Amino acid sequence: MPDQRARRIADAITPLRVEPGRTVRLGKDFDPRYKADFVHKKDGKELLQTGVALLADYQARLAAQDVHGVLVCLQSLDAGGKDGTIRHVMSGVNPQGVHVHGFKVPSAEELDHDFLWRYAQRLPARGEIVIFNRSHYEEVLVVRVHPELLDRQKLPAKAKGHGVWGHRYRAINDWERYLTDNGIAVVKLFLNLSKEEQLERFLARIDVPEKNWKFSANDVKERRFWDDYQDAFSEMLSATSTPWAPWYVIPADRKWFARICVSAVLAHTLIELDPRYPVVSDEDRRQLLTVKAALELEAPQKDRHRREAVPG
Ligand code: AMP
Ligand code: MG
pLDDT for 238-270, tens place per residue? 999 999 999 999 999 999 999 999 999 999 999
Output the residue whose Cα is nearest ligand 1's atom 20. Answer: 105
Q: What is the pLDDT of residue 308?
A: 64
* Mean pLDDT of the 46-66 span: 95
138 and 84 fall within a common domain: yes
235 and 297 fall within a common domain: no
Q: Relative to the CA of 218, which ligand 1 atom is closest? A: 10
99 and 137 fall within a common domain: yes
Output the residue whose Cα is nearest ligand 1's atom 11. Answer: 104
* Mean pLDDT of the 114-126 span: 98
Report whether residue 128 contacts ligand 1, using a CB cutoff of 6 Å.
no
* Mean pLDDT of the 126-135 span: 98
Total domains present in the chain: 2
Mean residue pLDDT across the chain: 94
Q: Is the pLDDT of residue 312 over 80?
A: no
CATH number of the CATH domain containing 257 = 3.40.50.300
Model confidence at 307, pLDDT cuts 50, 70, 90, reads: low
Q: Relative to the CA of 104, which ligand 1 atom is closest? A: 8
Tens of pLDDT, residue by residue over 280-295, are 999 999 999 999 999 9
133 and 76 fall within a common domain: yes
Output the residue whose Cα is nearest ligand 1's atom 21. Answer: 105
163 and 295 fall within a common domain: no
304 and 226 fall within a common domain: no
Class of residue 45 by CB neighbours under 10 A (exposed 0-12, middle 13-18, buried 19+): exposed
* Mean pLDDT of the 208-230 span: 95
69-76 and 247-251 beta bridge pairing: unpaired
Report whether residue 103 contacts ligand 1, using a CB cutoff of 6 Å.
yes
Residues above pLDDT 90, as percent of the chain: 91
208 and 61 fall within a common domain: yes
Bridge partners (DSSP) listed for residue 189:
74, 248
What residue type is 280 in one-letter code?
V
Domain, as residue range, for 273: 3-279
264 and 285 fall within a common domain: no
- How many Å lie between the centroid of ligand 2 and the Cα of residue 268? 29
304 and 195 fall within a common domain: no
* Mean pLDDT of the 174-183 span: 98
123 and 158 fall within a common domain: yes
223 and 309 fall within a common domain: no
268 and 291 fall within a common domain: no
